[in-house]
Amino acid sequence: MAMLQTGGVSSPGQACVLILIFTVLLQSLCVAVTYIYFTNELKQMQDKYFKSVVACFLKEDDSFWDPADEDAMNSPCWQGKWQLRQFVRKAPRVKRLWARK
């Protein structure tokens, strides 16, 4: 009769194992939800950045920027142009290095 009143758990060790398994599953679920959320946010940020840089190159971004203005220096349009300019400057060097090989 005492065995029936324990609710199917025959020892405290089994109860601890069940609690441990439940805790691990709950933490796994939280990590998965957090990963999915931040992956989605990152994708949205990348899409927004890409669209703004493309708009900049297509002259859809009509805002004028001043190199002395720090906010303008942080704009994706200016950053995209700067990265392209750096790539173009390095391209002839790379071409010369490959020609030597």
Give me the tens of pLDDT residue by residue for the chain, a chain 101 residues long: 444 455 555 788 899 999 999 999 999 999 999 999 999 999 998 888 777 767 777 765 555 556 666 666 666 677 777 777 788 777 776 666 666 65
User: Distance between CA 74 and CA 68 in Å, rounded?
Assistant: 11
pLDDT score of 4: 46
Tokens of 52: 């703004």
pLDDT score of 56: 73
Model confidence, pTM: 0.47
